[in-house]
Amino acid sequence: MSYTGADLIADGLAAFGIKHVFGIVSIHNMPIFDAINRLGKTRIIDVRHEQAGTHAADGYARATGNMGVMIASTGPGTTNTVTGLYEARYASSKVLVITGQAEKGFYGKGLSYVHEAENQLPMLRSVARRVESPRHIDQLATAFNTVVNDMFDGRNAPGALEIPIDLQYAEAATAEFPVPLVSVFAPDEKKLTELCERLTRASRRVIIAGGGVIAAGGSAALIRLAERLDAPVITTVDGRGSIPEDHELCIGNYYQSAGIYSAIKNAEVTLAIGTKFAVGVEAQGARFKPPGDLLQIDIDPNMIGRTHRADIGVVADARLALEALGETLDGVSPNDAQFNQTVWEARDGVHAAMRKRLGPDYATMMDMMRAKLPRNGIWVRDSTIAAYNFGNQLFPIYEPHTSINPSSGAIGPGLPMALGAAIASTAISGGRKTLLIHGDGGFMFHATELATAAQYQVPLVIVVFNDSGYGVLRWLQDARFGRINETDLGKMDFTMMAESMGVPGQRVQNIEGFETALDLAMETDGPYLIDVDMEHFAPMEISIMPKKKTASVHSL
């Protein structure tokens, strides 16, 4: 049997250390699936929808730090990947979509070749930074390496590779797949000296650590620098885990908290590393200007001063910059003790207030989940009431790559992202547990991936907070309009749904039942689902249950 373009792709994935890929087989990618399985170095995970598969590749990428891969069919299969690529681009995540295309001889002729998509490339370029489509078999390896190199270079980003079906079957020469040639973004020495001098002169310093610290592998350097400066560290939601949240200097993801902002307002300098300063809902982030002089470090020059004017901007890899700062700072005095004490008191006060807002039941559930999830276990949240009330801030995170959420604020990616992260965990540590919290409305977006979790016995605990609708939007509607509309969905029995697809589970209506179910879930080798019937628990402050009359199926 001759060596083909499909074999080249299989070899490339193995060369780049990809242990798993996600995909849905089709007539326009069958050669690649066959080649991967013949080679036997990468395992294919058969998802039920291309959007879910792309989200799963994203979760895989975030949990491993390597790229995640989704293999789709041309046309309708590829259009389904766009939402997942959008999320990956928003989160600066290394997701590669490999898709087929019509034969070169029919491509662009308008002859209705099955699944032909003449505008597939510009569509993919709207959500992926680099997209390649070779037109000759000798171009395939170069195209593949070019996309992968771009994904790793500078600020991480998704990419896509379109391969016409005849190139997948065509005879090819073997190729080399070198380690991605990542540009070295070392800090400019003059800028670094200027930044060090400003930090040294200050006695009230604050550090903001974003997802760029984790992407660069800079967590250890961040901790050393914070300890040397004795400076409080605020993390963004994507920067959680860059410093353990039980470290004495860690404030956590509270930059947009009024209480924390008031406590740090007298800071002389804010050192921001690897953060976009995302403005969030209704531009809240834009209103919270970093106090004092802003010293901003980012690998992407477009981010320096984009949201807030930077007094000193340094374009650099976060780890290299943090390490250089640690080596250059000399004779620096620790932070002002009174300033730090004010910050610690604010941190403890905000934590206590948020915990009180949860009510006794959900605070207890949160504590149970944290106590039973290993310190290096992966914590995934969808955009849901539970995430906004405790998942994104109060639930402690201790290590990099263990906190995952939809960075774009999308509803629905939670289950497939957790699926990808849990599968990644099997490659990293043999199957550490991944714990997902989800809302019932968003869960229905990709509920069919329960079948994928069952098929591969993924070590995933799924906790669905079931309030019979879109709880976040219901609360917002009530707050703004004094009424709710189109957010009540009726109560689903997710336990029955899960069991029909091979995932065990149970519905719980009290704390004792939740603890029993959670213990069983953590002991189960494969997936397990817990359906939390929120109607029977003491309410959270930000939550509204539907009226009884909306809890049943409506007729037209």
The whole-number pLDDT of residue 553 equals 46
Last residue of a domain, one of 118, 134, 169: 169
Boundary residue ending a domain (335, 370, 390): 335
CA-nearest of 83, 79, 80 to 120 is: 79
The answer to whether residue 176 sits within a structural domain is no
Q: Are residues 279 and 375 in the same domain?
A: no
Answer whether residue 340 is part of any domain.
no
Q: Decide which of 279 and 407 is more confident.
A: 407
pLDDT-derived band of residue 344, with 50, 70 and 90 as boundaries? very high
DSSP state, residue 391: I
Q: What percent of the chain has pLDDT over 70?
A: 94
What is the model's pLDDT at position 116?
Answer: 74
Please give the pLDDT value at position 554.
45
More confident residue, 280 or 352: 352
pTM of the model: 0.94
User: What pLDDT, in 10s, does the model give residues 22-68?
Assistant: 999 999 999 999 999 999 999 999 999 999 999 999 999 999 999 99
**510 and 371, same structural domain?**
yes
- Residue at which a domain ends, from 169, 203, 224: 169
Q: Give percent of the chain above pLDDT 90.
A: 79
Q: How far is CA 233 from CA 52, 139, 210, 329, in A?
A: 34, 47, 10, 18
Same structural domain, 130 and 204: no
Residues 496 and 380 in one domain: yes
- Give the Cα separation of 164 and 228 in Å (integer): 55
Q: Give domain status of residue 184, yes or no.
A: no
**Residue 46 phi, psi (nearest 5):** -85, 100
* 468 contact partners, CB below 8 Å, separation of at least 6: 440, 488, 489, 490, 491, 492, 535, 545, 546, 550, 551
Please check the confidence at residue 10 and state whether its pLDDT lies above 60.
yes
Q: Residue 28: what pLDDT?
A: 93
Same domain, 283 and 228: yes
Residues 23 and 145 in one domain: yes
**pLDDT tens-digit map of 355-379:** 999 999 999 999 999 999 999 999 9
HSE, side-chain direction, 13 A CA sphere, residue 201: 11
Same domain, 318 and 434: no
Same domain, 60 and 203: no
How far, in Å, CA of 219 to CA of 213, rounded? Answer: 6
List pLDDT tens digits, range 240-298. 999 999 999 999 999 888 899 999 999 999 999 999 887 665 555 567 889 999 999 99
Are 370 and 267 members of one domain? Answer: no
Has residue 486 been placed in a domain?
yes
Residue 102 confidence (pLDDT) above 90: no
CATH number at residue 281: 3.40.50.1220
| Mean pLDDT lowest among 5-14, 107-116, 204-213, 363-372 | 107-116
- Tell me whether residue 437 is in a domain: yes
Q: pLDDT tens digits for 425-469? A: 887 766 678 999 999 999 999 999 999 999 999 999 999 999 888
193 with 130: CB under 8 angstroms?
Answer: no
Q: Among positive and negative, which fits the CA dihedral 158, 57, 380, 125?
A: positive
Mark whether 117 and 203 lie in a shared domain: no
What local confidence, expressed as pLDDT, does residue 115 receive? 67
| Cα–Cα distance measured from residue 146 to residue 390, given in angstroms and rounded to the nearest whole number | 41
Q: What is the pLDDT of residue 109?
A: 65
Going by C-alpha positions, the residue among 368, 350, 401, 306 that lies closest to residue 68 is 401
153-173, pLDDT tens digit by residue?
Answer: 999 999 999 999 999 999 999
CATH of the domain at 481: 3.40.50.970
Q: Are residues 324 and 366 in the same domain?
A: no
pLDDT at 550 over 70: no
Residues 520 and 465 in one domain: yes
| Residue 290 belongs to a domain | yes
- Mean pLDDT score across all residues of the chain: 92
Our count of domains for the chain comes to 3
CB neighbour list of residue 258: distance below 8 Å, 6 or more residues apart: none
157 with 180: CB under 8 angstroms?
Answer: no
What pLDDT is stored for residue 552 in this prediction? 43
| pLDDT score recorded for residue 551 | 42
Domain extent, residue 124, equals 5-169
Q: Does 105 have pLDDT greater than 80?
A: no
DSSP reduced 3-state for 456: coil
Q: What is the pLDDT of residue 275?
A: 94
Q: What is the pLDDT of residues 457-515, one digit of tens each?
A: 999 999 999 988 888 888 888 888 888 888 888 888 999 999 999 999 999 999 999 99
Residue 556 lies inside a defined structural domain of this protein: no
What is the reported pLDDT for 430?
A: 64
Q: Per the domain annotation, does 342 fall within a domain?
A: no
Which of the residue ranges 284-293, 308-317, 541-550 has the most confident prediction, judged by mean pLDDT? 308-317
